[in-house]
Amino acid sequence: MKLWPRTSCCILLLIIPCLGRTQRRNSTKRFSFRTTLKGVAPRNPSSLGADDEALYSLSMALGQILREYAVTELHLTLNAGNWNYERWGYPDEAGVGSGAELWAWMGDGAYMSIDERWKGLRNALAGLFCASLGSMDELRTTSPSLSFQPEGMLPDWGLPHQIRHASLASEHVCTENLTPFLKLLPCKSLSGIAHLLNPHRLFDADWHGMGLHVQWHAKEGVQVRLTFQSVSDPQRISSQQTRDWSFQSLFDRTIDRNCPVARSSRAIVSSPAGTQYSITPSPGEVLDNNTAVLDVQTLPKPMNLEMRFHTPTNSAHSTGLPLSIHRTLKGSSQAHGKLLISITNHQFTPQSVTYLETLPWHVQLFLHSTQISLDGQPLNDAMSHVAYTPAVPHSRPTTFQSTLRVPAKSTIHLTIDVKKSFLRYTEHPPDAQRGWDLPPAIFTILNSQNTTSNPAPSSVRIYSPALLIDLATPDFSMPYNVIIFSCSLVAFLFGSVFNLLTRRFVIVRLDPGKDKVE
């Protein structure tokens, strides 16, 4: 008889009406489904090959993957669109990079190397979530330990842990990814807060993304967290063009019954300070920062949470970002270019950020060309802790990490020269004329001394939008034209020779007398 470890399930829905710089109001919705396996530790890599079924108390598919490859910490995000930090502020879930992003911490000491387990992990997750994670091969895999610190705890097995990170900016998120996501939930989408996950409304949002997070805490155990985050405009979907919203207007659904296996289920509504509003049904708890907490399990069903505003729109409201980051690729040449990073510090104190740039091997950085300027003057002491891994053609991407110090109330500009490689015609994607996607750059704020109305949490990550680079592309229509011309010529020659060989030519003689009688 097997005794599974104790599990606890906590379900959370957080809705935040965001005040942007425009007159439109957006609402951020975050679903968080947390399952904790109490008293369970990650699998020791040295025990690979032995029978270990502790993690099978999770979903069988997910637990088998974590057990098979001895994963200590795992983070997977699938996002559609670019997160607008200036309008929506900082997200509740930090992983908002465009496309797919996967990073994991794994311990050493197994009979399989970490790279072999990483390959099996991404292929297994690709099959589980119906995503192109298998394309995150060694051409996209890096080890940026400076930018991605463990969010949980790493067991001490006497051998070090290593990180593997890969991203795929061109990955698209659709219902084929949401379906296996819902199957991992305790009550699927049949009851509880998960019933609000209506794909027709979720994918109609201005931005949406889902995530899987597995981490370990010594006092709690293994924690598995499934998240879904989206940003929508209530005025766009409302028939009355108002910013008032409800479950029915946002999701076209209500909560009809509780999830029977959930230990707790809460809905949290947070509004900017100074906003007057009313919530139906009445919340059980209201915090000082305009945050209302409702216990979904105790409220009558069906539950249709509704929020009405009683104050006019303040178009001059600002999100109060500590930093603003812009990243562009300049140059019209298909052989050379210049990467430009602009970082603006809105604080009255200096800010230190970690800068991570990962580029495919066909875009090479020239480290000696790095220049940092402030108001047109060189700033030589702004960069430190530089870690550079050059690209290896057809084998390894470029990885550039450094720590930047941005002075108070100023903007610094970082420029790096890049070289675009000339690819073989067999290395181009099917849509070669579209260009190549460059993964977003990642900035991590190291200090969090903020005085703004929307402070950034400690060690928050900021993702820049993905870029599109144009490489020298051959004229793929020429082979098509040659094939058409060659086939036409072969058809003409073959038809003529075939007619000469198979047809019988005879002389037809006409009777002149017969023609005269007629």
Q: Tell me the C-alpha distance between 346 and 85, whole Å.
A: 14
Per-residue confidence (pLDDT) for residue 19, from 0 to 100 = 43
pLDDT in tens, 153-210: 999 988 899 999 999 998 988 889 999 999 999 888 999 999 999 999 999 999 999 9
What backbone phi and psi angles, to 5 degrees, belong to 209?
-165, 155
Which pLDDT belongs to residue 456?
43
Helix (H, G, I), strand (E, B) or coil at 404: strand
Percentage of the chain modeled with pLDDT above 90? 53
Distance CA 186, CA 37 (A): 13
Torsion angles phi and psi, residue 257, rounded to 5:
-155, 160
pLDDT surpassing 80 at residue 370 = yes
Residue 96 near residue 147, CB atoms below 8 Å: no
Flag the least confident range among 84-93, 289-298, 476-485, 505-514: 505-514
Q: Which helix (H) or strand (E) holds 85?
A: helix 85-88
* Inter-CA distances, 518 with 42, 405, 513, 515, Å: 106, 109, 9, 5
Check residues 311 and 128 and name the one with the higher pLDDT: 128
Span 213-225, mean pLDDT? 92
**pLDDT digits over 32-76, tens only?**
999 988 888 898 898 886 666 555 555 678 988 998 999 999 999
Low-confidence winner among 10-19, 211-220, 364-373 (lowest mean pLDDT): 10-19
Looking at residue 374, its pLDDT comes to 92
Lowest mean pLDDT among 11-15, 86-90, 113-117, 488-492: 11-15
Spatial distance between the Cα atoms of 48 and 70, rounded to a whole number of angstroms: 7
The pLDDT of 331-345, averaged and rounded, is: 91
> Has residue 394 got a pLDDT over 60?
yes
CA–CA distance, 96 with 100 (Å, rounded to integer): 9
Among 354, 328, 338, 308, CA closest to 148: 354
Q: Region 319-330: what's the mean pLDDT?
A: 86
| CA atoms within a 13 Å half-sphere pointing along the CA-CB vector of 49 | 6
Antiparallel, parallel or unpaired: β 7-19 and 264-270? parallel
For the entire predicted model, the pTM comes to 0.87
Please give the pLDDT value at position 318. 54
Bridge-based pairing state of the strands 306-309 and 442-445: unpaired
Interatomic CA distance for residues 160 and 122, integer angstroms: 21
pLDDT over threshold 50, residue 120: yes
For the record, the structure tokens of 363 come out as: 């875009």
- How many angstroms separate the Cα of 358 from the Cα of each of 75, 393, 401, 439? 18, 14, 9, 7
Please compute, for residue 257, the number of CA atoms within 13 A of its CA located in the half-sphere on the CB side: 8
Please report how the helices 175-183 and 114-129 are oriented relative to each other, as an axis angle in degrees rounded to 10: 100
| Alpha carbon distance 187, 305 (integer Å) | 20
Residue with tokens 């300049």: 330
pLDDT band at 514 (very low <50, low <70, confident <90, very high): low
Please, what is the average pLDDT of the chain?
A: 86
